[in-house]
Amino acid sequence: MSESKKNGANPHGALGTLGRRTLFGAASGLAAAGAFRLAAPAVHAQEPVTLRYLGTAVNQSAEIAAKVKQDLGITIEYIPVVTDDVIRRAVTQPNTFDLLDMEYFSAKRVAPSGNLQGIEAKRIKEFDNITPVFTKGEIDGKKIGEQGTAPKKVQFMKGRNSKEFADGPTEWMSLIPTTYNADTLGIRPDLIKRPVESWKELLNPEFKGKASILNIPSIGIMDAAMVVEAMGAHTYADKGNMTKAEIDKTLGILTEAKKAGQFRAFWSDFNESVNLMASGETVIQSMWSPAVTKVRSQGIPCVFQPLREGYRAWASGFGIPRTLEGRKLDAAYDFINWFLSGWAGAFLNRQGYYSAVLSTAKANMEPYEWAYWMEGKPAAQDIKAPDGSLLEKAGTVRDGGSYEQRMGRVACWNAVMDENTYLIRKWNEFIAA
């Protein structure tokens, strides 16, 4: 999600581990697993540290800040900005923050500046347990879609001070994954009253004047591409990096539908998407999982619909600016290790996102919560949000099923195209058409 799905802000959803020796290979010269077990220096209460945390609102919460303050004595100072400003500050003002929380596709724009320092895998205590979605592009040993900026393409750096990504695993990571999810269309089953199984339904004339698409160009174009492929109108080499001709073709199809009256609206705000569906003004649209939940919390039927062509996915992660050193650098590692240790993962899982280390999150969730959120089983009890409010009633099954069923069916990942400037110009022409 290029903008945060939480609370109306901009975002931006086969467990198994990857041993370090398997990951780095014999050539790494790090045969002893113990070499990776070096803990970051502890942050002592008598040495208070404040970390300036730059990012979108997706992982920024008062609860997380309060919990890490209690556990480690670290004060988190949030700097919430939109995605484009995360990138801009990371490239031009690396001294203005201590920890960067950005989407994986943004790494391709930030790393060439030299303002990211490689994160030492050996200082990440749960490195072995980070889901292979990030390190290998797999779920339960099976490859998932890599179109767009799949995390594994930008997960490793060639060195601590490198400006380039490595083709395979190294000792240096660009980002430490925080949250990720798989997105699809939201529908109103009570108003549609028939099965919806394909992305192409977004442009079905049956829903004329009742459809909506996300008005964030880099994401909306990929939803559109899922529709165009499902229609059989074009097959993309990479939906996340289209040619100018493909952009023209895709937006030509959307423009034709727009002029025919297909779309009720083009939303860019979380609450707008909720209101469109809750009111029944739209019955099918681009949507984010927490927005679907928000509609349902109002007692209105809404489904985050699994579709046969798969999902469009997104992911975010922590980066460390090259300027960070000394006690603050140690504190950043301590915070990252704390974030992966389970409490924060469980907190985010309860909002419908996925955490980077599933085993620690599971240990911090009730069995019935884990069964609902991660295993696709009917809720044995009412499902509550972190603030205690009711999300789903007992007996409900999570849309899309289990973690493996959802993340295992990713078709493409959010991306910034090489032709991004051209895309934005053509997208604005489409919206104005």
Secondary structure (3-state) at 142 = strand
Q: How far is 210 from 194, CA to CA, in rounded Å?
A: 15
**Which H/E stretch holds residue 187?**
strand 185-187
**Confidence (pLDDT) at 1:** 46
**Which token pair is 416?**
């910034």
Mean pLDDT by 10 residues, the chain (433 residues): 40 34 34 36 64 85 95 96 90 96 94 96 97 96 96 96 95 96 96 97 98 94 97 97 98 98 94 96 93 88 96 96 96 98 94 94 98 97 88 92 96 95 97 94
Q: Which residues contact 393 (CB under 8 A, 6 or more apart)?
A: 379, 382, 383
**Confidence (pLDDT) at 191:** 98
Radius of gyration, CA atoms only, the chain? 21
**Confidence (pLDDT) at 23:** 37
DSSP string, 191-206: HH-S----GGGGG-GG
DSSP string, 149-171: T-HHHHSEESSTT-SSB-SS--S
Domains annotated on the chain, with CATH = 50-174+313-340 (3.40.190.10), 184-310+409-432 (3.40.190.10)
**Confidence (pLDDT) at 391:** 86
Tokens 């050193």: give the residue: 325
For residue 264, the one-letter residue type is R
Q: Which residues contact 45 (CB under 8 A, 6 or more apart)?
A: 73
Tokens 């074009």: give the residue: 234
Q: What is the pTM of this model?
A: 0.86
3-state helix, strand, coil in the chain (%, to 5): 40, 20, 40
Report the DSSP beta bridge partners of residue 187: 284, 303
**Confidence (pLDDT) at 166:** 96
Secondary structure (3-state) at 27 = helix
**Confidence (pLDDT) at 351:** 86
